[in-house]
Amino acid sequence: MGKTVLVLSASLRRGGNSDALAEEFARGARAAGNQVEKIEFWNQTIGFCRGCLTCQETHRCVIQDDANVIARKMGNADVIAFATPIYYYEMCGQMKTMLDRANPLFSSDYAFRDIYLLAAAAEEDGHTIDGAVQGLKGWIACFEKARLAGTVFGGGVDAVGAIQGAPALKEAFELGKHV
């Protein structure tokens, strides 16, 4: 039996370049026999963390929105892949907000071990992803059983669909196949 893989596509641009990476990763993971769910943030309501820390006692957030469901799914997944556009050399705000809202998982018996980052940006330089990698590593550091298992960066893409034909799509598919 395969792993439970959760792919979180954080872009609010429907069908955008980071979402294309998410789709290829998911396709690869499915091809390898894993159970895959992809959640697109463009149609989710994810409010900001209020910092009340109630979740550390209740293992749920007091804010009733889609982030509660997503966080529960994160906790039950063996593998989580985050897909984000890179804005100002960092993950998009929606992804960071979801990382904050996943705080109920901190004191829980979470299942995930392998975390992946898939990112697309208009900037071509390979270091464009570094800020997002560091931000995600900071979150992962709070979960001692988890690790950053891989990254894919598609640079030099801005308009929706610009990533089509880019090597990053094949890289995402292959990474998904080997979760």
Instruction: Please give the angle made by the CA atoms of 50, 129 and 143, to the nearest 5 degrees.
Output: 50
From the list 63, 2, 67, the residue with the least C-alpha distance to 28 is 2
Give the Cα separation of 177 and 172 in Å (integer).
9
CATH number for the region 4-177 comes to 3.40.50.360
Side-chain half-sphere CA neighbours of 66 within 13 A: 12
Query: Strands 90-91 and 79-87: what pairing?
Result: antiparallel
Q: What is the average pLDDT across 119-132?
A: 97
pLDDT value of position 117: 98
Mean of the per-residue pLDDT values of the chain? 97
pLDDT value of position 106: 93
Q: What is the average pLDDT across 97-122?
A: 97
pTM over 0.95: yes
Give the Cα separation of 145 and 92 in Å (integer).
25
Contact 81, 8 (CB under 8 A): yes
Does residue 119 surpass a pLDDT of 80? Answer: yes
Does residue 1 surpass a pLDDT of 80? Answer: no
Does residue 118 surpass a pLDDT of 90? Answer: yes
pLDDT value of position 144: 95
Give the Cα separation of 32 and 28 in Å (integer).
6
pLDDT value of position 105: 96
State pLDDT tens for residues 131-168: 999 999 999 999 999 999 999 999 999 999 999 999 99
